[in-house]
């Protein structure tokens, strides 16, 4: 039982450090020290730092998935209201951390090297899944008459995901949610039927 609690401490503190500093800037020593556990606890629970990183990404994705379920895939809400809610939840979270952490997907992508190919591939899978959820919402918007019948939902979903990630990255650089707010405002103004 103690080992499981050490693993949880390592993941919780490692999650926080990786989100604040990035994967490359967070050492195993930093993680162990922040968790307040013996150095050997890390190797007892994780075969490598990369395996640890994959588990941290999975933990982050679970948080993102809960937002997706409440918004983009919530069939009880009007589709474009879902999309706006998706952005608003992210904006509130980013602003709540002083616009310093950004999105772990974008952060991991920016750090991707040949040495951590598994992390890059996992991020791609997760981004593809989020994009599919955006497309699900957009298809519902077409069906509800909120978007024109000819809307290329797959292309628009890809554009939204990549542009949103860029806005989050700019938000991190500027230490302000203004770039994300601008993205949301311009996107919704462009896609909502006049």
* pLDDT at residue 52 in the model: 93
Along the 194 residues of the chain, how does pLDDT read in single tens digits? 444 478 999 999 999 999 988 888 889 999 999 999 988 889 989 999 999 999 999 999 999 999 999 999 999 999 999 999 999 999 999 999 888 888 888 888 887 766 778 888 999 999 999 999 999 999 999 999 999 999 999 999 999 999 999 999 999 999 999 999 999 999 999 987 53
Tell me the C-alpha distance between 193 and 180, whole Å. 22
- Same domain? For 22 and 97 the reply is no
Query: pTM for this structure?
Result: 0.90
Residue 75: partners with Cβ closer than 8 Å, 6 or more residues away: 140
Provide the domain count of the chain: 2
Per the structure, the complete domain to which residue 136 belongs is given by 55-191
- Same domain? For 91 and 172 the reply is yes
Q: Is the dihedral of CA 172, 126, 35, 115 positive or negative?
A: negative
Tell me the C-alpha distance between 175 and 99, whole Å. 5
**CATH code for the domain of 186:** 1.10.357.10
Supply the DSSP symbol for 70.
H
- Same domain? For 182 and 121 the reply is yes
- Same domain? For 7 and 91 the reply is no
CA 38 distance to own-chain centroid: 30
**CATH code for the domain of 35:** 1.10.10.60
Tell me the C-alpha distance between 70 and 48, whole Å. 34
The residue to which tokens 């791609």 are assigned: 124
Tell me the C-alpha distance between 177 and 59, whole Å. 24
Tell me the C-alpha distance between 3 and 17, whole Å. 21
- Same domain? For 62 and 30 the reply is no
Distances (CA, A) of 194 to 17, 86, 143, 145, 149: 45, 22, 17, 12, 14
- Same domain? For 6 and 70 the reply is no
* pLDDT at residue 12 in the model: 94
- Same domain? For 41 and 68 the reply is no
Residue 56: partners with Cβ closer than 8 Å, 6 or more residues away: 11, 14, 15, 18, 23, 104
- Same domain? For 72 and 124 the reply is yes
Task: Pull the structure tokens for residue 132.
Answer: 């599919």
- Same domain? For 11 and 41 the reply is yes
Residue 55: partners with Cβ closer than 8 Å, 6 or more residues away: 11, 46
Tell me the C-alpha distance between 68 and 70, whole Å. 5
- Same domain? For 101 and 162 the reply is yes
- Same domain? For 121 and 184 the reply is yes
- Same domain? For 68 and 164 the reply is yes
């Amino acid at each position: 039982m103690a080992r499981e609690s050490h693993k949880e401490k390592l993941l919780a503190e490692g999650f926080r450090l990786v989100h604040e500093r990035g994967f490359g800037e967070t050492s195993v020593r930093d993680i162990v020290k922040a968790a307040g556990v013996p150095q050997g606890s890390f190797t007892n629970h994780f075969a490598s730092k990369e395996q640890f990183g994959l588990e941290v990404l999975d933990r982050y994705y679970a948080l993102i998935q809960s937002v997706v379920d409440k918004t983009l895939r919530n069939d009880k809400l009007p589709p474009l209201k879902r999309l706006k809610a998706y952005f608003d939840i992210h904006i509130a979270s980013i602003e709540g951390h002083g616009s310093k952490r950004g999105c772990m997907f974008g952060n991991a992508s920016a750090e991707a090297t040949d040495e951590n190919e598994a992390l890059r591939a996992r991020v791609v899978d997760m981004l593809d899944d989020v994009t599919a959820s955006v497309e699900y919402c957009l298809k519902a918007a077409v069906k509800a008459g909120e978007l024109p019948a000819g809307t290329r939902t797959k292309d628009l979903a890809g554009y939204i995901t990549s542009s949103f990630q860029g806005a989050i990255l700019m938000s991190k650089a500027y230490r302000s949610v203004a770039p994300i707010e601008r993205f949301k405002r311009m996107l919704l103004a462009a896609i909502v039927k006049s």
